[in-house]
Amino acid sequence: RKEVEQDPGPFNVPEGATVAFNCTYSNSASQSFFWYRQDCRKEPKLLMSVYSSGNEDGRFTAQLNRASQYISLLIRDSKLSDSATYLCAVIRKGSQGNLIFGKGTKLSVKP
Amino acid sequence: GAVVSQHPSRVICKSGTSVKIECRSLDFQATTMFWYRQFPKQSLMLMATSNEGSKATYEQGVEKDKFLINHASLTLSTLTVTSAHPEDSSFYICSLPGEIDADTQYFGPGTRLTVL
Protein backbone atom coordinates (compact mmCIF):
# COMPACT_ATOMS: atom_id res chain seq x y z
CA ARG A 1 0.00 0.00 0.00
CA LYS A 2 1.36 3.42 -0.97
CA GLU A 3 2.01 5.85 1.86
CA VAL A 4 -0.11 8.56 0.22
CA GLU A 5 -3.14 7.53 -1.84
CA GLN A 6 -5.29 9.59 -4.12
CA ASP A 7 -8.10 8.90 -6.54
CA PRO A 8 -6.33 9.19 -9.92
CA GLY A 9 -9.37 10.54 -11.72
CA PRO A 10 -9.61 12.01 -14.24
CA PHE A 11 -12.26 14.40 -13.05
CA ASN A 12 -13.97 16.06 -16.01
CA VAL A 13 -16.14 18.95 -14.85
CA PRO A 14 -17.82 21.94 -16.46
CA GLU A 15 -16.72 25.48 -15.68
CA GLY A 16 -18.28 26.73 -12.49
CA ALA A 17 -18.55 23.30 -10.90
CA THR A 18 -17.39 22.46 -7.41
CA VAL A 19 -14.96 19.57 -7.25
CA ALA A 20 -13.52 17.73 -4.26
CA PHE A 21 -10.32 15.73 -4.07
CA ASN A 22 -9.50 13.24 -1.36
CA CYS A 23 -6.23 11.89 -0.09
CA THR A 24 -5.33 9.41 2.62
CA TYR A 25 -1.97 8.85 4.26
CA SER A 26 -0.93 5.72 6.07
CA ASN A 27 1.90 6.88 8.32
CA SER A 28 0.65 8.46 11.53
CA ALA A 29 4.06 10.13 11.93
CA SER A 30 3.17 12.48 9.07
CA GLN A 31 3.31 15.99 10.43
CA SER A 32 2.99 18.44 7.54
CA PHE A 33 0.48 18.29 4.72
CA PHE A 34 0.20 20.01 1.37
CA TRP A 35 -1.64 20.26 -1.89
CA TYR A 36 0.44 20.89 -4.98
CA ARG A 37 -0.61 21.60 -8.51
CA GLN A 38 1.34 20.17 -11.42
CA ASP A 39 0.85 21.19 -15.02
CA CYS A 40 1.89 18.84 -17.78
CA ARG A 41 5.66 18.43 -18.00
CA LYS A 42 6.29 21.03 -15.31
CA GLU A 43 7.47 21.01 -11.73
CA PRO A 44 4.86 20.92 -8.94
CA LYS A 45 3.82 24.24 -7.46
CA LEU A 46 2.54 24.64 -3.93
CA LEU A 47 -1.16 25.35 -3.85
CA MET A 48 -1.60 25.39 -0.10
CA SER A 49 -0.47 23.89 3.15
CA VAL A 50 -3.15 22.04 5.10
CA TYR A 51 -3.86 22.57 8.77
CA SER A 52 -6.08 20.75 11.25
CA SER A 53 -8.24 23.83 11.61
CA GLY A 54 -8.84 23.85 7.86
CA ASN A 55 -7.79 26.69 5.64
CA GLU A 56 -9.18 28.60 2.73
CA ASP A 57 -7.55 30.57 -0.04
CA GLY A 58 -10.08 32.14 -2.38
CA ARG A 59 -11.90 29.34 -4.19
CA PHE A 60 -9.76 26.65 -2.57
CA THR A 61 -10.45 25.03 0.79
CA ALA A 62 -8.29 22.36 2.39
CA GLN A 63 -9.14 20.17 5.35
CA LEU A 64 -7.12 17.75 7.45
CA ASN A 65 -8.55 14.99 9.62
CA ARG A 66 -5.71 13.53 11.65
CA ALA A 67 -7.86 10.87 13.28
CA SER A 68 -8.87 9.46 9.90
CA GLN A 69 -5.54 10.35 8.26
CA TYR A 70 -7.42 12.10 5.50
CA ILE A 71 -6.82 15.31 3.58
CA SER A 72 -9.24 17.02 1.22
CA LEU A 73 -9.22 19.86 -1.27
CA LEU A 74 -12.34 21.62 -2.46
CA ILE A 75 -12.32 23.85 -5.52
CA ARG A 76 -15.37 26.07 -5.96
CA ASP A 77 -16.44 27.80 -9.16
CA SER A 78 -13.83 25.95 -11.18
CA LYS A 79 -12.10 27.75 -14.05
CA LEU A 80 -10.58 26.42 -17.24
CA SER A 81 -7.21 27.40 -15.81
CA ASP A 82 -7.71 25.00 -12.89
CA SER A 83 -7.11 22.09 -15.28
CA ALA A 84 -4.02 20.34 -13.94
CA THR A 85 -2.98 17.41 -11.77
CA TYR A 86 -3.40 17.94 -8.04
CA LEU A 87 -0.88 16.22 -5.81
CA CYS A 88 -1.31 15.52 -2.15
CA ALA A 89 1.97 15.45 -0.20
CA VAL A 90 3.13 14.90 3.36
CA ILE A 91 6.33 15.29 5.33
CA ARG A 92 7.04 12.66 7.95
CA LYS A 93 8.20 13.67 11.42
CA GLY A 94 11.85 12.84 11.91
CA SER A 95 12.53 12.50 8.20
CA GLN A 96 15.03 14.46 6.18
CA GLY A 97 12.22 16.83 5.29
CA ASN A 98 11.46 15.39 1.88
CA LEU A 99 7.94 15.35 0.50
CA ILE A 100 6.07 12.08 -0.02
CA PHE A 101 3.64 12.52 -2.87
CA GLY A 102 0.47 10.83 -3.93
CA LYS A 103 0.06 9.86 -7.55
CA GLY A 104 -2.08 12.90 -8.24
CA THR A 105 -5.62 13.49 -9.41
CA LYS A 106 -6.09 14.89 -12.88
CA LEU A 107 -8.69 17.61 -13.29
CA SER A 108 -10.06 18.77 -16.63
CA VAL A 109 -12.39 21.76 -16.57
CA LYS A 110 -14.40 22.08 -19.76
CA PRO A 111 -16.20 25.14 -21.14
CA GLY B 1 12.10 35.21 -9.59
CA ALA B 2 13.29 31.62 -9.66
CA VAL B 3 14.84 30.25 -6.52
CA VAL B 4 16.16 27.06 -8.10
CA SER B 5 17.56 26.52 -11.57
CA GLN B 6 18.08 23.17 -13.22
CA HIS B 7 20.08 22.42 -16.32
CA PRO B 8 19.57 21.03 -18.87
CA SER B 9 15.80 21.22 -19.19
CA ARG B 10 15.74 18.44 -21.72
CA VAL B 11 18.25 15.89 -22.92
CA ILE B 12 18.09 13.08 -25.43
CA CYS B 13 20.98 10.66 -25.41
CA LYS B 14 22.00 7.27 -26.67
CA SER B 15 21.94 4.21 -24.46
CA GLY B 16 25.19 3.78 -22.56
CA THR B 17 26.09 7.44 -22.27
CA SER B 18 26.24 9.40 -19.02
CA VAL B 19 24.17 12.49 -18.38
CA LYS B 20 24.84 15.16 -15.79
CA ILE B 21 22.03 17.29 -14.40
CA GLU B 22 22.77 20.42 -12.38
CA CYS B 23 20.59 21.89 -9.68
CA ARG B 24 21.47 25.36 -8.48
CA SER B 25 20.13 27.34 -5.53
CA LEU B 26 19.95 30.97 -6.64
CA ASP B 27 18.79 32.77 -3.52
CA PHE B 28 20.29 31.08 -0.52
CA GLN B 29 22.74 28.43 0.54
CA ALA B 30 21.38 24.91 0.77
CA THR B 31 23.05 22.17 2.78
CA THR B 32 20.35 19.75 1.66
CA MET B 33 18.82 19.20 -1.76
CA PHE B 34 16.41 16.48 -2.81
CA TRP B 35 16.37 14.62 -6.11
CA TYR B 36 13.05 13.22 -7.31
CA ARG B 37 12.10 11.19 -10.36
CA GLN B 38 8.70 11.03 -12.02
CA PHE B 39 7.74 8.41 -14.59
CA PRO B 40 4.73 9.09 -16.85
CA LYS B 41 1.44 9.04 -14.94
CA GLN B 42 3.28 8.28 -11.70
CA SER B 43 3.98 10.31 -8.60
CA LEU B 44 7.24 12.06 -7.84
CA MET B 45 9.44 9.62 -5.96
CA LEU B 46 12.42 10.66 -3.88
CA MET B 47 15.61 9.15 -5.24
CA ALA B 48 18.17 10.61 -2.88
CA THR B 49 19.03 13.40 -0.52
CA SER B 50 22.10 15.41 -1.40
CA ASN B 51 24.08 16.68 1.57
CA GLU B 52 26.76 19.33 1.22
CA GLY B 53 30.12 18.06 2.33
CA SER B 54 29.02 14.48 2.90
CA LYS B 55 27.70 11.50 1.02
CA ALA B 56 24.22 11.48 -0.40
CA THR B 57 21.62 9.21 1.17
CA TYR B 58 19.76 7.05 -1.31
CA GLU B 59 16.27 5.63 -1.12
CA GLN B 60 15.77 1.91 -1.21
CA GLY B 61 16.02 0.55 -4.73
CA VAL B 62 18.06 3.45 -6.12
CA GLU B 63 21.54 2.39 -7.17
CA LYS B 64 24.11 4.80 -5.81
CA ASP B 65 26.71 3.70 -8.35
CA LYS B 66 24.35 4.45 -11.20
CA PHE B 67 22.99 7.76 -9.95
CA LEU B 68 26.01 9.72 -8.74
CA ILE B 69 25.30 12.76 -6.63
CA ASN B 70 27.80 15.46 -5.86
CA HIS B 71 26.95 18.38 -3.60
CA ALA B 72 30.24 20.19 -3.86
CA SER B 73 29.07 23.63 -2.79
CA LEU B 74 26.22 25.18 -0.87
CA THR B 75 24.53 26.26 -4.08
CA LEU B 76 25.10 23.35 -6.44
CA SER B 77 24.17 19.69 -6.52
CA THR B 78 24.66 17.47 -9.54
CA LEU B 79 23.07 14.17 -10.46
CA THR B 80 24.87 12.03 -13.00
CA VAL B 81 22.99 9.17 -14.61
CA THR B 82 25.77 6.80 -15.61
CA SER B 83 25.44 4.38 -18.52
CA ALA B 84 21.88 5.49 -19.12
CA HIS B 85 19.35 3.01 -20.48
CA PRO B 86 15.88 3.55 -21.92
CA GLU B 87 14.29 2.63 -18.58
CA ASP B 88 16.04 5.65 -17.05
CA SER B 89 13.98 7.93 -19.27
CA SER B 90 12.05 10.07 -16.84
CA PHE B 91 11.48 13.55 -15.45
CA TYR B 92 14.14 14.41 -12.86
CA ILE B 93 13.42 17.27 -10.46
CA CYS B 94 15.46 18.73 -7.64
CA SER B 95 14.13 20.65 -4.68
CA LEU B 96 15.50 22.35 -1.64
CA PRO B 97 13.90 23.17 1.67
CA GLY B 98 13.32 26.81 2.50
CA GLU B 99 15.91 28.72 4.44
CA ILE B 100 13.45 29.87 7.11
CA ASP B 101 10.62 27.36 6.81
CA ALA B 102 12.02 23.96 5.94
CA ASP B 103 8.54 22.68 5.08
CA THR B 104 8.43 25.06 2.13
CA GLN B 105 10.13 23.34 -0.76
CA TYR B 106 11.50 25.09 -3.80
CA PHE B 107 11.50 22.98 -6.93
CA GLY B 108 13.68 23.27 -9.96
CA PRO B 109 11.93 23.28 -13.34
CA GLY B 110 12.94 19.67 -13.97
CA THR B 111 14.97 17.81 -16.58
CA ARG B 112 13.29 15.54 -19.05
CA LEU B 113 15.65 12.71 -19.97
CA THR B 114 15.01 10.51 -22.96
CA VAL B 115 17.40 7.62 -23.54
CA LEU B 116 17.21 6.07 -26.99
Backbone φ and ψ of A63, nearest 5°: -135, 150
Q: What is the pLDDT of residue A94?
A: 85
Q: Is A88 on the interface with B (CB under 8 A)?
A: no
Q: What is the pLDDT of residue B44?
A: 94
Q: Is A33 on the interface with B (CB under 8 A)?
A: no
Handedness of CA A106, A78, A100, B79 (dihedral sign): positive
Q: What is the pLDDT of residue A43?
A: 95
Question: Cβ–Cβ of B108/A49 closer than 8 Å?
Answer: no
10-residue block means of pLDDT along chain B (116 residues)?
91 97 93 94 93 91 95 93 97 92 90 97
